[in-house]
Structure 1
Amino acid sequence: MTRRSVITGTGSALPPRRVSNAELAREIDTSDEWIVERTGIRARHIAADGETTATLAADAARKALEAAGIAASDIGLIVLATATPDQTFPASATRVQTMLGIDDCIAFDVAAVCTGFLYALAVADNMVKGGMADRALVIGSETFSRILDWEDRGTCVLFGDGAGALVLEAQEGGDVGILASRLHADGRHNDLLYVDGGPSTTGTVGKLRMKGREVFRHAVVNLAEVMNEVMAAAGHAPDEIDWLIPHQANKRILDATAKKLGLSPDKVVVTVDQHANTSAASVPLALDTAVRDGRVKKGDLIVLEAMGGGFTWGASVIRY
């Protein structure tokens, strides 16, 4: 029988502090109209002192465990996708492990920026299918507000903080679970989206830098191509998709990608207006939202996709 990784629970967490476009406009040279027209974003959540990538991740993980109906002690693997870890080392996943009261399990971070959750999901899927663990927590969590240049209105309005998580469980046979994943990277485009610091270069955390127009152009092409690639690998046609759950970077990118694929906008889950771009957290945040509001149902064919700095990009096809 085929051993597959099946999603049995989802969860998410957002910091209580919600910052609207109007509030931002009182601090920097921008406006609600300018932000909404260019991005579709209306608000973002900002972590307070004491709220970190790990604490948000643990909150999302607890909700996913509750939804799955299992105890934290049942988890054998934690893969945390983040570009904003609590510390340079050890991995924030080990902090989450301790917060959940798990004495021993595999736990590590994955860094692929906005595509991080797709990378983490593929890694966890292969480890579960390979028998390394029977149950896994896959988490995307970010506190991007800590690496933003709040004087750069072109970038600081785009991002927010949050976390999303899901539980993967091994099941034998059946046609549900992760059907296919495809991942890519092209480091030649480093200077289009990056952070200008790091332990080995400047000894500082650094701030996010982005050339938005060029990123937009690459995103639409790369996401459409990887979608077609992963659907072919899964043996399904794009018109069979029930829900596309994309990285929530920019409403214009979501619209352009759906149009390029011939998908109805009604099949695209959009949450970027409520929490902005939360990098590796955005896909699991959107998934949890759609599961909890009843849009995503058991048996639905869903596609997760993302592109981020690196460039990295990828997609997964899942029978929910």
Structure 2
Amino acid sequence: MSIAITGTGSYIPPRIVTNQDFIQHEFLNSNGTPFTQPNPVIIDKFRAITGIKERRYAPDELNTSDMGFLAAEKAIADAAIDKNTIDHIIFAHNFGDIAQGQNQGDTVPSLATRVKHHLQIQNANCVAYDILFGCPGWVQGVIQAKAFIDAGIAKTCLVIGAETLSRIVDPFDRDSMIYADGAGAAIVQAHNGGGNILAHASATHATKEAFYLFFGNSYNKKEDSAQYIKMHGRKIYEFALTHVPQAMKTCLDQSGSDIGAVKKIFIHQANAKMDEAIVKRFYALYDKEPPSGVMPMSIGELGNSSVATIPTLFDRVRKGKMKNQQVQKGDVVIFASVGAGMNINAITYQI
């Protein structure tokens, strides 16, 4: 008996926000002073570093749990299971439901409970709860699902990752251009039909790194006391390049798979330049160069939707929706993420 991802689904918001949509923004330094460079220069440099040309924002009428529900419906249909056989619903997010025009998160009831309600699952023994683990939350949810199945507590889990980061960004912070919205979901099951989680690894670095991502005031000192997502980008970049490649190697080595067997790496879509450097360092640990096409990328068009980046990316590649990217039964792939905490995790998975 293996533990496999038997179905996937995603919700990609229809609203496209391009870099040019930020051309009139007033970007400020953290001390409230204006940048000396004009916005076209700021935006060009931003694209060169992050790879982001555009991102997706949720429709006004949808919250994070709504998008999670839409992705979950697709994953359930893809797995061809009865929704009432789901034992656990694990919803990874960081800020709860945030209504359009608000920046206060709502997490009561949990977003997983809201999804169960929307799905109209009648089985009271289907346990629904949320997980807060930064951007690696969806990967950690899959790891938890595996643990429940290994322990005999569950046979079928629904793992969702969704976020509406566009509603908690400071418009005066140039980092606001990074963030996006979206949702991805997967069915994880004890299964006899192929597919298996071969190994996983997780770590939390919470000494000097704990507050590399945090809630802070607007850079516009005239704004009210509302809090927005903030980050120390350079510190995160250096942290990720130091720790993520080794975590990936640990996970791959524990799986017993050879580096040459890895067909795809589904890495959190945080920053294209950073992701490329992480994968290059990972392969360097084996004295190799990354093969062409080993790392599918969606950040250029979809931006950074936190917990949703990996499940949406995997769903699109798995279903042949990305040009020149596909996976086949038997392929060994790696999921890897880094984010607030600072948390790191990885999974070695055989399709």
Query: What is the TM-score with the length of structure 2 in the denominator?
Result: 0.84
1:278 aligns with 2:305: yes
Residue 83 of structure 2 aligns with which residue?
Answer: 72
1:1-320 → structure 2 map (5 Å cutoff): 3-29=1-27, 30-31=39-40, 32-86=43-97, 87-103=106-122, 104=124, 105-153=126-174, 155-172=175-192, 176-188=195-207, 189-196=209-216, 206-262=227-283, 263-293=290-320, 295-320=326-351
CA contact (8 A) 1:242 1:301 kept: yes
Aligned equivalents of 1:265, 1:245: Cα separation in 2: 14
Larger Rg: 2
Report the CA distance between 1:205 and its aligned residue. Answer: 7.2
CA contact (8 A) 1:194 1:310 kept: no
Report the CA distance between 1:296 and its aligned residue. Answer: 1.6
Aligned equivalents of 2:309, 2:245: Cα separation in 1: 18
Which aligned segments of 4 or more residues in structure 1 are displaced greater than 4 angstroms? Answer: none
CA contact (8 A) 2:246 2:282 kept: no
**1:192-238 superposed Cα distances (whole Å, 9 cap, x missing partner):** 211239xxxxxx87211111111101111211010010011111122
Aligned equivalents of 1:269, 1:76: Cα separation in 2: 31
State the percentage of identical aligned residues.
29
CA contact (8 A) 2:261 2:331 kept: no
Aligned equivalents of 2:200, 2:234: Cα separation in 1: 28
| Code of the aligned partner of 1:177 | N
CA contact (8 A) 1:147 1:205 kept: no
CA contact (8 A) 2:3 2:188 kept: yes
Aligned alpha-carbon RMSD (Å): 1.7
CA contact (8 A) 1:35 1:42 kept: no
Aligned residue for 1:266, secondary structure, equals: coil
CA contact (8 A) 1:238 1:261 kept: no
How many residue pairs get matched?
Answer: 310
Query: What is the TM-score with the length of structure 1 in the denominator?
Result: 0.92
Aligned equivalents of 2:109, 2:292: Cα separation in 1: 41
* Alpha-carbon spacing, 1:205–1:5, altered in 2? closer, same or farther (3 Å): farther
Report the CA distance between 1:47 and its aligned residue. Answer: 1.8
Structure (1 or 2) with the greater helix fraction: 1
Aligned equivalents of 2:169, 2:133: Cα separation in 1: 18
Aligned equivalents of 1:156, 1:57: Cα separation in 2: 22
**1:155-196 superposed Cα distances (whole Å, 9 cap, x missing partner):** 101110000111111125x86311111000011212321123
Aligned residue for 1:90, secondary structure, equals: coil
CA contact (8 A) 1:77 1:106 kept: yes
Name stretches of at least 5 consecutive residues in structure 1 with no aligned partner.
198-203
* Alpha-carbon spacing, 1:28–1:273, altered in 2? closer, same or farther (3 Å): farther
